[in-house]
Chains A and B, each alone.
Chain A
Amino acid sequence: MNTIPLILLLLFGSALLAYFVGKINFVLKVGIALAGLLVSSYFFLTLYGLSEKFIFHLAGFELTWQINSLSWFFGMLIFGLGILVAIYSTVYMRGKERVDFYCFALCTTIASMFGIVVSGDLLSFFFFWEIMTWSSFLLVIYYRYEAQTAGIKYFVMSAIGAYSMLIAILMIYARLGSFSFQALSAGWQGFSLGTQIAIIILFVMAFGVKAAMMPLHTWAPEAYAISPSSFTSLFSGVLSKMGIYGFVLLFYVFSAGKLSASFVDIHGTSLPGYILAWFGALSALIATLIAIVQDDAKKLLAYSSVGQLGYIILGLGLGSSIGVSGALFHAVNHTIFKGMLFLAVGAVFYRTGTRKFSELGGLISRMPYTFFVVLLGIITIAGIPPLSGFGSKWLIYEAIIQKKMVFLAVVTFAASTASFMYCYRLIFGIFLGQRDEKYDDVKEVPWAMRGPMLLLSLFTIYLGFYPYHLLNLIAEVEKTVLGIHPFAYGQSVLFSRFGSVDTMTVMNVVAVVFVIVFVLFSLLYKRSRKVGLKDIHTSGEIPGEEINLHYAIDFYQPFSRGVGAVLKRSADRLYMNFASNMEGLFDMMRYIYTGNGQTYVMYVIVFLAFVLAFSSWLI
């Protein structure tokens, strides 16, 4: 039997099985989900390096499922994080209600994402895309009461995106008579310029919504914040990558890299790519600024996610090998660090029941492992050596500089610098500062939750040492699928035209410095005096009520004052106003139905008279 349908069948099957059989007890549902994932990921691993195709007919359409290096690359992210999340859920979801429902939706989401990456034609792509939308919608609304508006917003924006994609797909089908990617890339140049523009815009709408690209991101903060943390890490880490996967397909597979044939080039990038790059860069900047002022840890991470996806989109838009590699590398990094951070925030929530910085603080001594994970996570997110985040950001900057896009570079650097601020807020707000007494006996989370987080941390360290393992994979993707000539890189060296950086050296230096500092610290430690967390000096004065003693409240207040004016203009409010106005307008329609029977008869007679009057048009 062909492996791809087998994997899909296993995943969807375990979803259903977890739902129905899982009614019996907790271990069974999570166990089935996990077992299904593990078995199917084994089959997935056997697909490495192969290019299989599975063609069949359904409802009169030819559908293709295929695996190539690109789909394997994204499949790796899906299964990698998927399994870790499932393991994490075994503890995180314990004792919660409707776990069978959760397992069902989680497995279906994973299955549909895998379906998306193995789709070899637009129809199955759309099919799985829609399944992914509703199954993730089910997870967003898991916590019932608060989640309704966030859920509907997510669903409606996804639906608008999906339907615009559907129009694009069917426009292509109407012209080519086939849904397959191959036919599309062959026929792309036959399209008129107007068609090309329409198709690109419609697809960007769909992928932009899923990748939370500004200004289509407004669903993301609420949906991320409200969904169960175990799923949020998958949501942000992998599901949003499906939007990225879509962008990769659109710019390098559908158009077969021939975008510049019909559009002007700007700095060696085709116009659509250039515009996309700007969208990415602005997403990165604005989302970062908004992230800084958030009080809710998950909202902060959500905006940070929007920003980081902006980098990836930026890299993809640039189009050079180094940019695309940077983007794909960053995609992997993003999966890893967002996975880590959301899981860690989930772990904090699991123990304390809150995600607000103003209520947390000082957990470092209580949850040291989680602290360590968050520390590594923010180092990666900030792109500081020696962890893997450095490599990918380096590549993206390098790509911008190579293209000599000065303004883009300025925006990107600004965003990158600003992101330090939210990184610091994240770790400070939760782990440093003062601890509330009620959290004094908080314990570290169980190993089943610690394990996945620590494993992800290992990955980021590992990729910090050996980025070329991943770059090999990316180069393979570029060569075989994307049609881009991969740039040169060494064993552990990243080149640029200003010089090169050897990750090995960096890592060694860091390690040595770390050891020296650690040793010094251990030696000098005995002479230091231990200060309690609450031991705040107010210079002899008795603090009044109005003096704020919790640092996390009004954190970055001057900054908020500075950029507050900018942040007030929210795209979200604009959309909501538009939606409610439209709804009011649409609602006028029902007054046609006046309730008077005679009026209805009048409609019938008028209709008849009207059509009879214009009957000559029908002949």
Chain B
Amino acid sequence: MYLDPVLMIAVPLFAAFLIPILGKINKNIAKYVPVLVIGFNLYEAVMLLPVSMIKPVIVIIAAWRPPLGINLTIGPLGNMLALIISLVGFIVSIYNIKFVEEEPNEKFHMLFMLLVAGATGMVLTGDIFNLFVFLEITSISSYALTAFIRHRDSAEAAFKYLVIGSISSTFVLLGVALIYATTGTLNMADIAQKIQSVDPKIAVTAMILLVTGFGVEAEMFPLNGWAPDAYSQAPTPVSAAFGGIVVKAGMYGLARLIFTIFNFHGIFYFLLIMGIITLLIAEMSALRQKQIKRMLAFSSIGQMGLVMMALGLATQEGVVGGLFQMFNHAIIKPLLFLSAGYLVFYSGSKNIEDLDGMGRLKPLTSFFFAFGAFAIMGLPPFSGFWSKLIIISETIRNGFVVLAALALIGSVIEAVYYLRVVGRLYFKKPHEGERTHYVHPTAIVAMTLLTLIVLFVGLYPDFLMTYLKPAAAELLNKSAYIKDVLTAGL
């Protein structure tokens, strides 16, 4: 039985600000709060799933029925994404228990919880201004988390991220203002209904402003300048959370805008082309990176390009493929980041060169990294295979054979640079030098969980597909969405 879905946002927010107080009492309690709270979110998301699959759960706050008031709209899509976010958040917070030993410890957990709360809010809300607010909560906590390590590069990365991020959120706000000025409403379903009668020139301007704003979080080229720096300089769990949480929420915003709110078909072609450009440029840039986390960041951008391409197809199967790829990326990229971060931590250097011979020194972690690399390349029987297969299949079915071929070229490049790193882990002789001998059982638990999910989904994709299909249908069938929201509470 599920509790009020508002708690999915309220509890992390409340707990986030409770942590500093708890930290005053006992330092150790603060560590376990995120696990419990995000675990609660996970429980909620799982329990909501069967309900929202049948009919979206509309939460009316303070008896203001939509289109008035702020409401949460938990359809299959929002629920799936909330599930992804809380799943990744949960696993990463398990990893955090031991990994984040640096001071100020509580602040890290607080910001992390804010990040999860913001992202969950983004995917659950039914109100466009609320979407903006949660976007800001997510990004501000991301900026702060990027700068968390007191290192000159972290501050630099955070500043770049902040400048790009706040410019883009200004665009979002402008877009929202434009929409409000023309439709007089902030409820997304209501906007979707009323936008038909708005001058298309104004509507398309609003859409472009919003797409640019969310495109920054969704790592669309050329808006993704922040990503390589932020991913590589943030603490490892935060990099994992970027890949698994922030980007997913941004992509959700993008998808919700172009599918539900606006009604322009040209944007889908645009997304298709931007997707393939993003994919290719990112994969090419990743090819000769020297730092492992930077390489993973580019790989992450590339994966999001694939998702954009899939969403740009705007067919049921294509969107299912895109969402599937989002899920896979949300699981596999944290696995890669967590294992790479662990190796970086162990070797004391971020450079790929210094990871030589880690397969011998840290067999289990290296195995996790290699496993993740195989999974993200899309090899069977891991989960990445199915999503790539569906996306490429749907691309070809829609007649874009050249795009499919280009995406596969990207995959070949991906294979090259991942195998190079895996090769270094296993085939080079380890360097001499000081190593920190430090075992984190919780890190191993987190990575094992991710590995098991990858394997399970890879062997039995239908389990996930049953939930992704309604989610894709929700995006494609906007009139049902409008009807569900506007008749809620009657």
Q: Name A residues whose Cβ lies closer than 8 Å to a Cβ of B.
A: 57-60, 123, 127-128, 130-131, 133-134, 141, 144-145, 147-148, 151-152, 155-156, 159-160, 163, 166-167, 170-171, 173-174, 583, 586-587, 589-590, 592-593, 595, 597-601, 603-608, 611-612, 615-619
Contact = CB atoms under 8 A, between A and B. Distances in A.
B481 interface: no
B223 interface: yes
Interface of B: 159-160, 163-164, 167-168, 171, 200-201, 204-205, 207-209, 211-212, 215-216, 222-223, 225-226, 228-229, 264, 266-267, 270, 281, 283-289, 298, 317, 374, 379-381, 385-386, 389-390, 392-393, 396-397, 401, 404-405, 408, 411-413, 415-416, 419-420, 423, 426-429, 460-462, 465
B225 A131 contact: no
Given A134-B374, A163-B408, A619 B200 contact: yes
B411 A608 contact: no
Contact of B223 (A156, A170, A607): A607
Given A593-B225, A607-B212, A611-B211, 4 more contacts: A593-B228, A599-B225, A603-B222, A604-B212
A123 B461 CA distance: 14
Contact of B465 (A59, A128, A151, A593): A59
A166 B396 CA distance: 10
Given A57-B462, A127-B385, A586-B284, A604 B423 contact: no
Contact of B392 (A159, A160, A166, A611): A166
A308 B267 CA distance: 54
A618 B267 CA distance: 6
B176 to A, nearest CB: 16
Given A57-B462, A127-B385, A603 B225 contact: yes
Contacts of B427: 141, 144-145, 147-148
12 contacts: A127-B385, A131-B380, A151-B423, A156-B416, A163-B412, A170-B404, A586-B413, A603-B225, A607-B215, A611-B270, A618-B267, A618-B270
Nearest to A146: B427
B209 to A, nearest CB: 7
Given A167-B396, A618-B264, A152 B423 contact: yes
A607 B277 CA distance: 14
Nearest to A599: B225
Nearest to A604: B223
B420 A152 contact: yes
Contacts of B298: 590
Contact of B288 (A163, A590, A592): A590
B226 A600 contact: yes
Among A167, A605, A615, A617, residue most surrounded by chain B Cβ atoms (within 10 Å): A615
A419 B370 CA distance: 42
A59 B381 contact: no
A589 B229 CA distance: 16
Contacts of A59: 386, 389-390, 461-462, 465
Contacts of A123: 389
A174 B393 CA distance: 7
Contacts of A163: 408, 411-412
Contacts of A593: 225, 228, 285
B275 to A, nearest CB: 15
Contacts of B462: 57-60
A147 B401 CA distance: 35
A159 B411 contact: yes
Nearest to B419: A152
A144 B426 contact: yes
B139 to A, nearest CB: 14
Given A59-B461, A151-B423, A601-B167, A171 B396 contact: yes
